Amino acid sequence: MTAIETVSEKTCFDGVQGFYTHASEICACDMSFAVYRPPQADAGERLPAVTYLAGLTCTPETFAVKAGAQRVAAELGLVLIMPDTSPRGVDLPGEDDSYDFGAAASFYLDATREPWSRHYQMASYLTREFQEVVAANFPVDTRRQGILGHSMGGHGALTLHLKNPGLFRTCSAFAPVVAPMQVPWGTKAFTGYLGEDKEAWKSYDACQLVAARPSKARILIDQGTQDQFLERELKPHLFETTAKEAGQPHELRWHEGYDHSYYFIQTFVEDHLRHHAETLAA
């Protein structure tokens, strides 16, 4: 069994919200994560799971504390998995200099540029090593997994689903960065982690991926009209246009008056979990 260390566990809606760490070989550092086990886990069966990828500046605690998702997960019998947003404490130069690059800003990719490539291997970590950790320590049916994310994490959810539709069978996102090659957050991250070759960037851009390899899953995206990052960083209309052209099943829902905060996520997280459970519980 892949060893983990329990940081804390609390009873929540008759299930358990836990926080954990483990030594990662892929990221070459200790990685933190959170898991919510619903009460159905007590029966000993393996359950469907949804992995949540948080956005810039966030930690595994952010969704667990702010989203109010455990109540719905307890009803539906879903395990919630919340990895960290990046490696931590690896002492790379500049890792803490800005909120949108380095610590808590991995963009869920595999860095190829030094010194980031030594630790920032999040795509491989989440699809390989972390899968083994979860399967060995929690009652998860690895054949029934979905992925959900917010902002940078929405970018991660879309790209990891489109590249691994057999692993993450369902997908949804709140206010995702859908075209990172075309916006400041993405170009800064991609240049720093991947270098100047824009061909290498394409494999981490949801618009590029959906054009080349649409999935069969219906992707749900929620976007607030008062999101302060809407026009500069998010541009969901680009994904909608490309998805239509590619034949990707999807739904982009606009919500009047909502911004980029967790008040937005709290309001609609139940819809997202039911969206995943509809397929995963079957």
SS (H, E, C) the chain: CCCCEEEEEEEECCEEEEEEEEEECCCCEEEEEEEEECHHHHHCCCEEEEEEECCCCCCHHHHHHHCCCHHHHHHHCCEEEEECCCCCCCCCCCCCCECCEECCECCCCECCCCCHHHCCEHHHHHHHHHHHHHHHHCCEEEEEEEEEEECHHHHHHHHHHHHCCCCCCEEEEECCCCCHHHCHHHHHHHHHHHCCCHHHHHHHCHHHHHHHCCCCCCEEEEEECCCCCHHHHHCHHHHHHHHHHHCCCEEEEEECCCCCCHHHHHHHHHHHHHHHHHHHCC
Contact 40, 169 (CB under 8 A): no
The predicted pLDDT at position 193 comes to 98
pLDDT in tens, 253-268: 999 999 999 999 999 9
227 given a catalytic annotation: yes
Mean pLDDT of the chain: 97
Known catalytic residue at 260: yes
Q: In this structure, how many other beta carbons lie within 10 angstroms of the beta carbon of residue 228?
A: 12
Q: What is the pLDDT of residue 2?
A: 78
Which position among 260, 272, 275, 276 bears the catalytic label? 260
- Tell whether omega for the bond before 115 is within 30 degrees of 0, i.e. cis: yes
Residue 78: closest CA among 168, 6, 145, 132:
145
Percent of the chain with pLDDT over 70: 100
Please write the tens of the pLDDT for every residue from 95-139. 999 999 999 999 999 999 999 999 999 999 999 999 999 999 999
pLDDT over threshold 60, residue 147? yes
Q: Which position has the token pair 């397929």?
A: 279
- Candidates 86, 151, 172, 215; catalytic one: 151
Residue of 127, 220, 214, 217 whose CA lies nearest to 170: 217
Confidence of residue 52 (pLDDT cuts 50, 70, 90): very high
Q: Which residues pair with 16 in a beta bridge?
A: 11, 37
1 has a pLDDT exceeding 80 = no
Tell me the pLDDT tens digit for each residue of 183-228. 999 999 999 999 999 999 999 999 999 999 999 999 999 999 999 9
Strand partners, 83: 33
Residue-wise pLDDT tens digits, 10-43:
999 999 999 999 999 999 999 999 999 999 999 9
- Catalytic annotation present for 91: no
Residue pair 99/42 in contact by the 8 Å Cβ criterion = no
Q: Which domains does the chain have, with CATH numbers?
A: 5-280 (3.40.50.1820)
Single pTM value for the model: 0.98
Q: What is the pLDDT of residue 28?
A: 98
Tokens at residue 50, please? 């949804």
Strand order in the sheet with 47-53: 5-12, 15-24, 29-37, 79-83, 47-53, 140-150, 170-174, 219-224, 250-255
Q: What is the pLDDT of residues 73-104, one digit of tens each?
A: 999 999 999 999 999 999 999 999 999 999 99
| Residues in contact with 261: Cβ distance below 8 Å, sequence separation at least 6, in sequence order | none
Residue written as tokens 């459970």?
277
Token pair for 76: 């539906």
Distance in angstroms (rounded) separating the CA atoms of residues 55 and 157: 11
Sign of CA dihedral 214, 218, 219, 223: positive
Check residue 282 and give its pLDDT.
79
Q: Which of 119, 215, 227, 276 is catalytic?
A: 227
Between CA 158 and CA 281 the distance in angstroms is 21
